[in-house]
Amino acid sequence: GAGTVLTTKDVEAVADAGGTLIVSPNTNVEVIRRTVELGMISAPGFQTPSEAFSALEAGAHALKQFPAVGSAAAILKGTMAVLPKGTLVLAVGGIKNLETMSPFWAVGARGFGLGSALYKAGMATAQVEANAKALAKAVTTLKKQMGSKL
């Protein structure tokens, strides 16, 4: 799949390359609809309930709260209260460890997008592996401490 997909042309290029996942930083209903038409998974970004509902109505499979920094967990709590039960929400942007994951998990996020916490240009493979293990352990800890139900 691909991230930061902004246009339907980008969606088609990913499909042509064999991709199955489209992640976007925004809620572009044309991108979402084209993704779904091509049989791929759509995870657009949102910040407001209006954006979240527009994305779901266009066929999004999951929602990406982006960026997930500052007071975003408090905002997500309110949004989760009105979203359809079972909506998969991912927190993306600024997620680094258990401490930054916990507030989002507590209010209903059930996945995370990881960037520089996982990999930075030039990083040794062993470090990427260590980072991945630490982040996976953080999610396992969240599931044990707080449960995994939506």
DSSP 74-137: HHHHHHHHHSPTT--EEEESS--SHHHHHHHHHTT--EEE-STTT--TT--HHHHHHHHHHHHH
- Segment 115-128, tens digit of pLDDT: 899 999 999 999 99
Give pTM, 2 decimals.
0.89
Domains delineated in the chain = 8-146 (3.20.20.70)
For residue range 85-106, what is the model confidence (pLDDT) as tens digits? Answer: 999 999 999 999 999 999 999 9
Confidence grade of residue 150 (pLDDT, cut at 50, 70, 90): low
